[in-house]
Amino acid sequence: MVVAIYPGTFDPLTLGHEDIIKRGLYIFDLLIIGITINNKKKSLFSLEERIFIAKEALNYYSNIEIISFKGLLKDFMSNNNIKIILRGLRNSLDFNYEFQMANLNNYMNKNIDTVFMTSTNKNQLISSSIVKEIAILGGDISKFVSSSVEKHIFTKINNIDNKKVKYI
């Protein structure tokens, strides 16, 4: 059984992430969606909310598990006997960042390797921040996130007075 982890912040899950997950499942028997806190970023949704949103959006896949992890990815992987990281590449900026992360993870644990999938054309423009920005400014995000995710974004935004969104 070939198992991989697709780690990320997923604040929230977009159709770009779903594209990588769907195609990743053609390669891997089990895909662990590992949702974590990235201290360099302020999140709109709490970790628990991001897990709930991803579970709801991905509930029709049987061979995925959605979990959260804290600390170093390589430690979570060795504790759970996972050896492959799946990541998406949208452009050359992603490549530079991902190249460093993949090499560092492998340097810290030689049993860990990263597999990259290039994003399909229409998903190369998406990022979670851009989707949130468009939504906050009243734009249409239906091309970028699934309908359940769209609902959660607008509920969150509309619950906040004067659209002053509080990032966690």
Applying CB under 6 A, which residues contact ligand COA?
7-9, 11, 14, 16-17, 20, 36, 38, 72-73, 88, 90, 101, 104-105, 119, 123, 126-129
In the three-class reduction of DSSP (H, G, I as helix; E, B as strand; rest coil), residue 39 is classed as coil
Measured from the CB atom, the residue of 42 and 151 that comes closer to ligand COA is 42
Distance (Å) of CA 134 to CA 5, 115, 150: 29, 31, 11
Active site residue 128: yes
Q: Can you give the C-alpha Rg of the chain in angstroms?
A: 16
Q: How far is the CB of 161 from ligand COA (least distance, A)?
A: 24
Say which of 74, 87, 90, 152 is annotated catalytic. 90
- The token pair that represents 149 in the structure block: 């995710």
Position closest to ligand COA via CB: 16
In the three-class reduction of DSSP (H, G, I as helix; E, B as strand; rest coil), residue 162 is classed as helix
Q: How far is the CB of 2 from ligand COA (least distance, A)?
A: 20
Q: How far is the CB of 51 from ligand COA (least distance, A)?
A: 14
In the three-class reduction of DSSP (H, G, I as helix; E, B as strand; rest coil), residue 80 is classed as coil
- Whether residue 76 contacts residue 69, with contact meaning beta carbons closer than 8 Å, is answered with yes
Active site residue 41: yes
Could you list the active site residues? Answer: 17, 41, 90, 128
